[in-house]
Chains A and B, each alone.
Chain A
Amino acid sequence: MSESAYSIKESIMQLPRNIKASISRRGEGTAEQERAAAVFGNMFLHVHPVRVHVNSLRAGYTFGLGLISFYLFLILVASGLLLMFYYTPSTELAYRNMKDLEYVVTFGVILRNVHRWSAHAMVAFVFLHMCRVFYTGSYKAPREFNWVIGVFLLLVTLFLSFTGYLLPWDQLAFWAVTVGSNIASYMPVLGDYVRFLMLGGNEVGQMALLRFYVLHVVALPLLAATLLGVHFWRIRKDGGLSRPSND
């Protein structure tokens, strides 16, 4: 296209290619460069290394337990977000909202059960993932920092389950949190203070429900997402997934 002959038609014809180039941000290269660039040039794929050792791909070594835990977390975020459209963290409404989700809301019962079972499964898979890391010795140097991050992720997973347990506001929830907060009060010196701060009072009531809700839907998921980011980043920095050194 010459400078003098600017045509609207041609620039419109050029538009799809311009858009594609703005997204992919790269020109032509060799086939191998192209494949590498496709991974590290994409925000969602760049978490994964361009090259992995063939032993890292052996399914029987990791069983994909960490990735399954992460996918369950994504399912929980998506289903939890949808549940929030129908749930109110008030002692008057919480139980009725939960029953409405079960009997009135379209696909509500599926949504609630997806959230519930994914939560149970996430606890199980995070635990199994920890077992795998332990039995393959993957907690050893240089991966010891990531093991500690993983322990915090296990704790966050358990706190997410515990805080979510109160939200249906039924008898099971009430007594489980009564017992759980009393377990916290057995902590030396600070026990009773921790229980008071956790419940926002002396008994499981409106303040406790609101606190658990805020922790469950904002604070803990954000903490989990941040720790997940560090956890994945450290896998790369610590030399990739642990793997058998030879076949």
Chain B
Amino acid sequence: MSSENSTGATILPFRTTDEAVDEERRGFVKKMAVTALTLGVGGAAIQSARFFKPNVLYEPSKAFKVGDLSTFPIGSRIVIEGRGIEIVRERDGMHAISLVCTHLGCLIKPVENDPDIGYMCPCHGSTFAHKGEVQGGPAPKDLPWYEMYMDNTGALVVDTSKVNHKRTKLAV
């Protein structure tokens, strides 16, 4: 269908109606092919990214023993080292409170002998009341309490994967 002009260059003719129809069909097939390829390759790529999510974690268990009842006399506040919690025992029961700042995860320090402030974060100065309510600083949330129970051997167990939303004390 092509012709040559005087310079010898090839000039393509205008499309005929038949070819336009053909073009539509080709366009459709092309779109389908690109869609299938995108879904296939894209899906495979997204699934491959799961490689980076570890399936087994070698981290300490979230539920752990903190000791016998006798370790925690009435009126005591005892920090469990390396676990980021404090066990508080009062006359009406005991509870486990998180020592991980709700702002950016620093380890907060219990404050001794202060009527209002129970905890303070050394990183950005957040302060918390004795029950864990935010008193000041950038912390957005109160310190959570964790579920606590006594197992059949009489040891106290804290489970940091379960938050004690109602803030109930363990009666002992």
Contacts and interface: CB of A to CB of B under 8 A. Distances in A.
Interface of A: 175, 178-179, 181-183, 196-197, 200-203, 205-207
B59 A203 contact: yes
Contacts of A203: 59
Contact of B104 (A182, A200, A201, A205): A182
Contacts, number: 30
Interface string B96-114: 0000000111100000000
A243 B53 CA distance: 48
Interface string B38-57: 00000000000000111001
B57 A183 contact: no
B14 interface: no
A202 B53 contact: no
B76 to A, nearest CB: 27
A207 B54 CA distance: 9
Nearest to A179: B104
Contacts of A179: 104-106, 123
B82 to A, nearest CB: 11
A201 B103 CA distance: 19
Chain A contact surface mostly: helix
28 contacts: A175-B106, A175-B123, A178-B104, A178-B106, A179-B104, A179-B106, A179-B123, A181-B105, A182-B103, A182-B104, A182-B105, A183-B104, A196-B53, A197-B52, A197-B53, A200-B52, A200-B54, A201-B54, A201-B57, A201-B59, A202-B57, A202-B59, A203-B59, A205-B58, A205-B59, A206-B58, A207-B54, A207-B57
A166 to B, nearest CB: 14
Interface string B109-129: 000000000000001000000
Chain B contact surface mostly: loop
Max chain B Cβ within 10 angstroms of own Cβ: one of A178, A183, A205: A178
A178 B101 CA distance: 11
Contacts of A207: 54, 57
**Nearest 3 interchain pairs by C-beta:** A182-B105, A179-B104, A182-B104
Contacts of B104: 178-179, 182-183
Contacts of A182: 103-105
Contacts of B54: 200-201, 207
Contacts of A206: 58
A170 B57 CA distance: 22
A220 to B, nearest CB: 15
Contacts of A196: 53
A182 B54 CA distance: 19
Contacts of B105: 178-179, 181-182
A205 B53 CA distance: 15
A228 B65 CA distance: 53
Contacts of A200: 52, 54
